Structure 1
Amino acid sequence: RSGVAGRFHWTKIPAGIYELRVSKGALVAPALDGLILDPGAKRAFGVQLVPGWTVAGQVIDVQTGRPIADAEITGAAGGLGLHTRRARSDGRGRFELVGVMGDEQSLYFEADGYVAAGPLRQGSSDPAMTVRLGRASTIEGRVVDARGMPVEAALVRAFGEGQLRGAVLGTTESLGVTSGPVPPISAGTSGALAYVSQVETGRNGRFRLTNLRPGAYRIVASHDDFARAESERLQLRAGAARSDIELVVSPGAELAGRVVDERGDGLEGIPVELRDGPEHLPRMSVTATDGSFSFGGVRGEVSVTALPYDLPPVREDVAMGEDALVTVEIALSSTLYTLRGRVVDERGFGVGGALISISSKSARTPVRRSAKSDADGTFSVPALPEPPFALEAAHPAFSSTKIDSIDRIEDIRVVMSAGVTLLGEVLDDWTNEGLPGVRVRLEGPAQLESKTRGDGTFVIRQAATGIYEVSFSHPDFETQTQRVVLEPPRYVDQPQELDRVRLQPGGSIEGQVLDAYSEPVPTAEVTWGDPPLWHRASRSDTDGRFVLRGVPAGSVWIWARHPAAGEDSSDSPIVVRPIENSTGTFIRLPESVTE
């Protein structure tokens, strides 16, 4: 803490890169990022404290809407994310974090009996937030072998399927289902799995997974002596408990191998990674003195990768088949290559400070290396396997450049075009005021996006020249799209300004998704349109309720779909008026959500 005169003094600080933050109550100072302290160095600072902004909101139960008292709220800011502020919600679930500096905070929420949530983003110009926490769910069961005997020390992992929401961010008036920030655990809608939690079985083979969000799960059990076992799809409601899960593991084959050098001699202490699918976590081993390694309980098609510390990794794909033992040899090459070249602008002048990233195009040697170009644009990237390579170049003043395939290692010429800075402003067409929080997305030679600030203005930097489709979307307004041509600037810092954009306010629709037996359907996708605009979909909450915002005025059909309950539309079109809320919409899906 500073003394009476406001001075502070630190001694014996290890050399390194630091972030310095100073605060007292609601008074804060801008962070000093990237502070480099060399050995023996002395640094002095003058810091002025100014009033910060306040993050305020309320934490409530997503099902009952009742406030949650004594929830812990943690706000993190800064490039390193180490500066935190904490608060607890009062009896009405309300909280405040004062003295916040910067444009945005990352917020984390914890409460007894509820699923932890975060990070949720809150900007200085955003209104007070309402965070809805869902009751935590539980899955219990046991792992047994083919004879029904319990398997001890099996690792049981839960993988979330679809979009599992732990908290929903919305206004006080909303039902809490938005198309806003992506929740902490999300696997999208493609059926991919996202790792959630893990436990180890006891002597009786039993396991218990807690603090789970409502939604769909698959449970996977693994053991060094057995092949993986996977449950059927499990649907959890908020606060529910499943205790009837039994996973039967079967014996798998042994995958044994050696990591050798170019002469065939075994290499000791080389990490080896085994993967049996992108949705599963890898298994690791380390080679013995003779270079050998072994994995038990392996089935199907797998990849095994040697990860030496000073050489590029080498990967081999293996099909296990029906054999009890499968062997593989991974040969490491000590022959390394250095890729050399020069980065230039469109006039042929060298570009210094460009970040060059090189990736091997061979699946057998998955390696990526980076370097920066010198003042004259020259660069060299050492310790590479043999070609071909892919190259990416990035620089703050230029648009990014890619070369998909490079077959040589000398005289690589990388041409970077001056990046275009695009400026613009988005207005609410009804109030004629700047509209904050509009998502501005460019799609064309590159894909870039930004958000409008509190006054409705936005900036997109380092865009490559060319023809783009630019879209403007906001949860409460109709989306607008237009074509724009980004032309080469006459000088590096010359911006290009877009004509003022006006967005029409949309209406909102509230309703509920039910299955064939009138049971609420959680995590269903809900959208509008004919055909349905699934890219604008929201998710139903644990009671099947949904809110669609920014729906264009007029008569629209409402659609819902769910992996188990199926897909269907509303019985009739819904009339939508700007800024008005249409309620009482029900969508009945053709199947049961629990089957």
Structure 2
Amino acid sequence: MSQTTRKFVTAAAIGAIALLLWWWAGRRGEESAGPAEAAGASGGPAIDVGPLVDEARLARLDPRLAERAAISGRVHEADGRGIAGATVCAGSSAPGLGSAERAARTCTTSAADGFYRIEGLLPVPQFVHASAPGHVPGQHRAGPGRRARTLVTLRAGQVTTGIDVVLASGGVELKGVVRDLSGGELEGALVSSGFAYARSGADGTFTLWVAPGETYLDARADGYAKGWMMGVAPGMTFEIALTPESVLVGRVVRAEDGAPVAGASVYAEKHLESSSQAVTDANGNFRIEGLKPGAYRLEAFHDEAYGTGPESAVLGLGETSEPIVIKAHPAFLVEGTVTIAGGGSCEQGWVRLSDKAVGTRGGQVDADGLVRIRGVLPGTYEPQVECDTYVAEASYEPVAVVDAPIRGLRWQVQPGQAIRGRVVLSGGTAARGLHVGAEPQVDPSTPRARTTRAWSEPTADDGRFELLGLLPGRYRVSASSGEQPRLDPPVDVELPEGQDLEDILVTLPATGELRGTVKDSEGLPVQGVEVTLRGGQEWLPTTRTLDDGSFRLPHVPAGEYRVQAVSAWTPLQAPGTTDDDVQGKAVTIATGEVREVQLVVESQHGRIVGRVVDSAGGPLSDAFVEATRESDSAAAGAGDALRDSRWTFGGAETRKLTDQDGRFELTRLGDGNYTLVAQRRGGGEGSVEHVKTGSEVEIRIADAGSISGTVRIQGGGTPQEFEVTLNDPSTGWRSGDKFFRTGGVFRFPEVPRGNYSVIVEAAEGAVSTKTSVSEGGRAEVQVELLPLLTVRGRVVDALSGEPVPGMEVRIRARGQVQMFTLYDQTPKGQTSDEQGRFEVEKVAAGAAQAVVLPKDWVDNGYGWSTIALDVPSTGATAVELPPLKIAKKRRNENEAPGDLGLRVRPPAPETEPGEAKLIVAAVRPGGPAMRAGLQVGDEIVSIDGQDVTGANGYLFHDLSAVPAGTTLKVGLGRGATIEVVADAMK
């Protein structure tokens, strides 16, 4: 290590030299940099690097110091006719750019002949987008088909010409307004929808031209965090309310002597959300802007260093943190190239390196296939490679990092095979603008075999699609649209080895059309709510209401449905009803028929006013207040709305800032009760439940407490790196952080009062404990890591007891959130084999939960199950678990479940699994359950003979989700067994 340390000392001492390579920095793991705006910070003493800096070389290698580049080309129709007045924008997501640089767009307007020129661009790979009145937005594409290259590599001081963008006709106008939470209009906000960009005017309004139908829109403005909303164009006015930004500032220094580390990528991650990134300047300073309130964990990655923040950085609304010092310790760079067999390099993808004892590091593929993975600690890593539309090898040579950087690695991917064909309507007309996917189908005889899947670009005018990067095997090919996740019927195909499939025909069924309006009890239109269908199919089209409350679903399969208006995943109530009543209206759609329906819901013009005060009763200006609707269902649990508020996203009217007197007003609320949560500038939160519309309320923000502690390894010593997760089940408040070389010490400086689970995980072991925090109080915990075990067991069918192959098993401490991505690299042993056997390494003894899901998310007839279990501590290094029971889906694919006419009250979050009970909270009058004799207060103890009490309660959902007409034998705690025949979906 002595030679490596000397290298590190030299690099950090001259500060600015490290900036040479910052723009090659890889993104961390599979995490994508968040959209919040961030940039390098200034300030602090300048460093005199003397003659060691070659300024000419610095200008060539650092794009921010190099001469700017330019792009020119034309925006035109497919026949070559120029499009005047198009908005053309260039941007980049090159590895190493800060979040602000990734979010930035440099735009211009095309001339009469469609010509454009964009200057002042960083000399890094750029993409070019364009939009124009009457056209669907598009991007520059070099080459035909799915593998057309979309990035343009720029050279310093040069103009890259011929970068054309072809636009198709059919675009529609989208209008909206950007405001802040106080209601004021925001000028100059950057608004985007796909490839379309615009700036808001002086009155906050903007106009975009987009493809018709449902669309996602986001907005960014200086001094604010990003805002977004979903809606439909044309006919709907989009209103986006932006939250004043919070800012993290600090410095990255060398742990040994405090010298600044320049060119480090600093990530700020809010628990369970994407991260935002900045790059340190020559003085090691960073500034991460555009953040929302909350607790953030900080990590710094450099070619020769890695470090974490000393504790969670807690930001209040609009707050800028005190300077945070991140101490960086020696680490290494791993650099390689992802190449394509037969020639060429990968344009879009990533490489992840995983070591079971050390952790994971990753990097984004640059346009030329280069990957730079920074801050890698010593260890032996297994590479995982992903390149869009190509197939990675089954495995790659391990990468052993010892005491020096590694360069020149090569990871090759294969072109794979293809499925091509057309999507047509029932009459043979080509279906344009649909996405087609190929989902692998499970082979029970080879449950651990690799699988691939693919998605197409939108189908062309002739309905053609192309699916690339597939391995041989069985696939289900289906089409989808923005309004419907899958359009039946799919086509099952067999892709033989070494041969592409051509001319696959996906024929969509004939449909009818549904039109209607949603108005409230006062006769006023209800805008922007989702309109959904319930019926015999699970995947059905959806849309949103326009400004006048109208909606249109042009392609509805023939059948009987119930149409509902939905907000925040809950159907809006008709006047005089509750959440336990069936909402919406029944409709029957015939092929070729146009049906109309009018939905009337409760008033949406309720109002709540109030005041936010501190712990001493003083008013708090600029506090953030948000309202979450409380369910009035008999099955609703205490505190559900408070917990839901951590996950839901209200509109502009359900979130507001207080004025100088601490007052706020929330409007356009549906009638009912709400939970209000307030957060203050500077940190802290308060909440009030059961606030009825029309009320006036005071919200007191309590003083925050703290949790700190020490982690020890059994037998002596402290872990080099560990993670701590805090969770209060009753309120849903959750936070987590990673700690590196702190001597086992951790601290969470601002924690609301509550009762917390504290989960600690490290390579050397794991443990969980509990603690309580009073208002303004401090909690101290000391834990000793329990040795990690190898856990073995079997996955079996709950009813038959037969083994279930092809199920992936993940086990973590109970209360820890399981994070999944489609491309997670899971050890083969964690997938159940032909006998249902699995093996999971590095599991801590104690209360745990197993998540069992189909490998690679392949539909094999089983869903996801979360199973509470206890891992025994026997003194051995491996333990055998009782069989994990999972329930097979009892419905055909895309078949909706029937209606049982009952609701079960979920157990309180803090209930131990073995003590949980399924208590019937509501029985619908005249429904199947009532006809069978079920009563409110009954305990359900079995379904078709399978025990669903206590820790087996997770089986209830899958066992009871049956098609209409199915008879269920329901065992009750009072000793009776009743037969419930499921009705068609209500």
What range describes the TM-score normalised by the shorter chain of this pair? Answer: 0.5 to 0.7
Contact 1:426 1:452 in 2 (8 A): no
Question: Any conservation in 1 of the 2:476–2:490 contact (CA below 8 Å)?
Answer: yes
Q: Distance in 1 between matches of 2:528 and 2:471?
A: 35
Answer yes or no: is 1:420 the counterpart of 2:721. no
* Residues 439, 474 of structure 1: 8 Å contact kept: no
* Equivalent residues of 2:454, 2:467 under 8 A apart: no
Shift of 1:416: 2.8
Q: How does 1:187-266 map to 2 (within 5 A)?
A: 197-201=455-459, 206-210=464-468, 220-221=478-479, 228-231=487-490, 247-258=506-517
Q: Distance in 2 between matches of 1:403 and 1:457?
A: 35
- Cα distance, 1:548–1:409 mapped onto 2, change above 3 Å: same
Closer, same or farther: CA 450–349 of 1 in aligned 2, 3 Å: same
Q: How far did 1:422 drift?
A: 0.9
Contact in 1 for aligned 2:727/2:757 (Cα 8 Å)? yes
Hey, what's the Cα distance between the residues in 1 that align with 2:604 and 2:516? 22
Q: What is the count of residue pairs matched by the alignment?
A: 482
The answer to whether the 8 Å contact 2:584/2:599 transfers is no
Going from structure 1 to structure 2, the CA distance change for 1:411 and 1:284 (only over 3 Å counts) comes to: closer
SS of equivalent residue, structure 2 residue 700: strand
Select 1:155's aligned residue among 410, 431, 434: 434
Q: Kindly provide the CA deviation profile for residues 47-75 of structure 1, in whole angstroms up to 9, marking residues without a partner as x.
A: xxx999867347799xxxxxx98686779
Contact 2:678 2:685 in 1 (8 A): yes
In the TM superposition, what are the counterparts of 1:83-122 in structure 2 within 5 Å? 95-97=372-374, 110=387, 113-114=390-391
In structure 2, the partner of 1:17 is 222
Compute the displacement of 1:522 (Å).
Answer: 5.5
- 1:358 aligned residue: 627
Alpha-carbon distance change, 443 to 292 in structure 1, aligned in 2, over 3 angstroms: closer
Contact 2:725 2:758 in 1 (8 A): yes
Out of 319, 323, 333, the residue aligned to residue 56 of structure 1 is 333
TM-score (norm 1): 0.56
Identify if the C-alpha distance between structure 1 residues 461 and 473 changes in structure 2 by more than 3 Å, giving closer, same or farther. same
Deviation at 1:357, TM superposition (A): 0.7
Task: Note the C-alpha offset of 1:414.
Answer: 1.7
Contact 2:430 2:463 in 1 (8 A): yes
CA deviation after TM superposition for structure 1 residue 506, in Å: 1.8
Tell me the residue number matched to 1:190: none
Asked if 1:395 is matched to 2:672, the reply is no
Give the TM-score taking structure 2 as reference length. 0.37
What amino acid does structure 2 have at the position aligned with 1:326?
R
What is the deviation of 1:281? 7.1
User: C-alpha displacement at 1:327, in angstroms?
Assistant: 0.8
Are the structure 2 counterparts of residues 333 and 485 from structure 1 closer, same or farther at C-alpha, using a change threshold of 3 Å?
closer
Q: As a proportion of its length, which structure holds more strand?
A: 1
Give structure 2 stretches of 5+ with no counterpart: 1-18, 21-54, 69-119, 121-187, 190-220, 224-246, 252-260, 265-279, 292-326, 339-343, 352-362, 377-383, 394-403, 442-447, 575-582, 633-649, 797-803, 833-837, 864-870, 894-986
- Matched-pair contact (CA < 8 Å) for 1:138–1:239: no
Match in the other structure for 2:235? none
Considering fraction of residues, name the structure with more helix.
Answer: 2
Match of 1:465 in 2: 753
**Alpha-carbon distance in 2 for matches of 1:279, 1:329:** 23
1:319 matched to 2:586? The reply is: yes
User: Matched residues in 1 for 2:364 and 2:680: separation?
Assistant: 34
Note the C-alpha offset of 1:253: 2.3
8 Å CA contact retained: 2:788, 2:843: yes
- CA gap of 1:314–1:108, structure 2 versus 1, over 3 A, is farther
What displacement does 1:451 show? 2.6
Taking the aligned partners of 2:423 and 2:550, their CA distance within structure 1 comes to 33
Report the Cα distance in structure 1 between the residues aligned to 2:819 and 2:784, rounded to whole angstroms. 20
Q: Which amino acid letter does the alignment assign opposite residue 113 of structure 1? A: Y
Go from structure 1 to structure 2 and tell me whether the alpha carbon gap of 1:377 and 1:483 turns closer, same or farther (over 3 Å shift).
same
Mapping for residues 364-375 of structure 1, pairs under 5 Å: 369-375=654-660
Residue 440 of structure 1, CA deviation = 2.4
Shift of 1:215: 12
RMSD: 6.9
Establish whether residue 525 from structure 1 lines up as the match of residue 809 from structure 2: yes
Q: Distance in 1 between matches of 2:392 and 2:499?
A: 12
1:30 equivalent in alignment to 2:285 = yes
How far residue 217 of structure 1 moved from its aligned partner, in angstroms, is 8.2
- Is 2:706 the partner of 1:501? no
- Report if aligned partners of 1:229, 1:247 keep a CA contact under 8 Å in 2: no
Deviation at 1:503, TM superposition (A): 0.5
Amino acid at match of 1:501: V
Q: What are the ranges of 5 or more consecutive residues in structure 1 without an aligned counterpart?
A: 37-49, 62-67, 76-83, 100-106, 117-126, 163-174, 178-184, 186-194, 308-312, 515-519, 568-572
Give a deviation string over 1:347-381, Cα, whole Å, max 9, x none.
43334432101245699xx8552112235432223
User: Of residues 712, 735, 743 in structure 2, which corresponds to 1:449?
Assistant: 735
Given that 2:438 and 2:467 are in contact with CA atoms closer than 8 Å, whether structure 1 keeps it comes out as no
State whether residues 809 and 830 of structure 2, in contact with CA within 8 Å, keep that contact through their aligned partners in structure 1.
Answer: no
Is the alpha carbon distance of 1:379 and 1:329 closer, same or farther for their aligned partners in structure 2, counting shifts above 3 Å?
same
User: Equivalent residue for 1:379?
Assistant: 664
- What is the rounded CA distance, in whole Å, between the counterparts of 2:693 and 2:529 in structure 1? 30
2:739 alignment partner, SS class: coil
8 Å CA contact 2:389, 2:469 repeated in 1 = no
Deviation of the 1:242 alpha carbon:
7.4
Determine if contact 1:151/1:205 at 8 Å carries over to the other structure.
yes
Change (3 A) 1:263 1:352: closer
Answering whether residue 771 of structure 2 is matched by residue 484 of structure 1, we say yes
Letter in 1 for 2:618: F
Q: 1:276-331, CA deviations, whole angstroms, 9 ceiling, x for partnerless residues?
A: 4796774468689x978562335554656699xxxxx9999443324533212367
